[in-house]
Amino acid sequence: MPSTLELLEEHRLYGGWQQRYRHLSSSLNCSMTFSIFLPGPKDGTPPPVVWCLAGLTCTDENFSVKSGAQRVAAELGLVLVMPDTSPRGEGVANDEGYDLGQGAGFYLNATEAPWSANFKMYDYINSELPALVAGNFSVSDRQAIMGHSMGGHGALTIALRNPGRFSSASAFAPIVNPLEVPWGQKAFRAYLGDDVESWKEYDSCWLMRNSANQLPVLIDQGDSDQFLADQLRPERLEEIAREVDFPLTVRVQPGYDHSYFFISSFVEDHLRFHAKYLLV
């Protein structure tokens, strides 16, 4: 049975509409909230979709309120979908750390208790939410995906695992090698268990080296990002891209940190990058 969308909020924005919906998620077994930006009508052609995946501690609102992406999306005629970052609610497992449990779904399907009851963010973002959006809004089937930090990890892994699905992917300060950094190791051990083999399909470095899927990818990384050396390490993905001849561009932005101020400074570049492939 298709999930029913409950409209929670609606605001006129840049000639389009910013909306927020609640729905019951069958993948996550809980009530979920997402935001969507619908640009004003152009020529009647259904607009393409850009998925915007947020980072640790975020909800659908961070990207909605802080990124400024809608201005450019309105100009280019792009729909933006801004999902939450994990299942939510009193009945959903949680952890005291900000980097595990609610707000920290890591865009994977958990296999270990207690997480496996709800934490199926890979299925939610990859299957359930796209079907819901396609069924309820006038959108084309052309899609791109982008994200920030943990959401950058989500955008890159989902794009790499689904050949032909996205015309391009991009990320701000993504976690590119969760297998080898503390955030990833803590979360993957909890969600996926001790067998590191099962972690690999959620690691952008491993996927880029081991899949034949190629698509244009843009990464921006601030060099004053407090998580750069310990958690992000984009040079590892760059090295693999060189080895396998993958169309990856990594830009280092001097002085920029991990905040949404960094995202808002470069989100226009990202949307224009995606538009180049979406609007052909």
Q: Which residues lie near a second copy (CB under 8 A)? A: 11-15, 18, 65-66, 68, 70-71, 222, 224, 253-257, 259-262, 264-265
E strand or H helix at 24: strand 16-25
Q: Which is nearer to a second copy, 224 or 249 (CB)?
A: 224
79-83 vs 30-38, strand pairing mode: antiparallel
Catalytic residue status for 225: yes
CB of 78 to a second copy, least distance (A): 16
Q: Least distance in Å: CB of 215 to a second copy?
A: 28
Smallest separation (angstroms) from a second copy to the CB of 269: 12
Which residues lie across from 234 on neighbouring strands? none
Catalytic residue of the set 149, 167, 168, 170: 149
For residues 178 and 153, the answer to whether their CB atoms sit within 8 Å is: yes
CA–CA dist 276, 222 (Å, integer): 24
Residue 214's identity, in one-letter code, is Q
The minimum distance between CB 75 and a second copy, in angstroms, equals 12
> Are 55 and 85 within 8 A, CB to CB?
yes
Enumerate the H helices of the chain as residue ranges: 60-66, 69-76, 121-123, 129-136, 150-161, 182-192, 204-210, 234-244, 260-278
Q: Which is nearer to a second copy, 214 or 264 (CB)?
A: 264
Among 23, 153, 258, 274, the active-site one is 258
Strand order in the sheet with 30-38: 6-13, 16-25, 30-38, 79-83, 49-53, 143-148, 169-172, 217-222, 248-253
Residue with smaller CB distance to a second copy, 206 or 262? 262
In the complex, what is the shortest distance from the CB of residue 265 to a second copy, in angstroms, rounded to a whole number? 5
* Residue whose CB is less far from a second copy, 68 or 97: 68
Burial 88-122 (b: 16+ CB within 10 A, else e): beeebbbeeeebbbbbbbbbbbbeeeebeebbbbb
Whichever of 11 and 242 has its CB closer to a second copy, that residue is 11
State the catalytic residue, choosing from 60, 84, 99, 225. Answer: 225
Residue 167 among the catalytic residues: no
Q: Closest approach of Cβ 120 to a second copy, in Å?
A: 32
Based on the residue annotation, tell me whether 258 is a catalytic residue of this protein: yes
Handedness of CA 83, 89, 91, 97 (dihedral sign): positive
User: Is the Cβ of residue 64 or residue 168 nearer to a second copy in the bound state?
Assistant: 64
| Residues labelled catalytic | 149, 225, 258
